[in-house]
Amino acid sequence: MRKFEKRHAIVVATAIFALLGVVALQQTNAASSKSNEVRSMAWYAANIKIAEAKNKECRADPNNSELQATSDCVNALQAVELRFGVNR
């Protein structure tokens, strides 16, 4: 009977650790998704300070055309242009 109890405890402990690992991965993926979320031009227009910061980030390296072409950078730039009528 003791062997059975010991094995049962090991199986339960393993299942708990596996479950905790899955939960941790889900939390990490959720955090990544939020940080990679593309915001719309309307969102940036409503949050113009963030749009200006994003625009500066996108234009920090003039040779990084890949970053400047992302939807997030384009939307931030359009919001700034809409608000101020110029590239900032």
pLDDT tens, residue by residue, 6-40: 777 777 677 676 666 656 666 655 554 456 789 99
Higher pLDDT, 11 or 80: 80
Longest dimension (CA), the chain: 79
Q: What confidence score (pLDDT) does residue 32 get?
A: 46
Least-confidence region, from 4-13, 52-61, 68-77: 4-13
- Is residue 5 very low, low, confident or very high in pLDDT (cuts 50, 70, 90)? confident
Residues in the chain, overall count: 88
Tokens 């949050």 belong to residue: 47
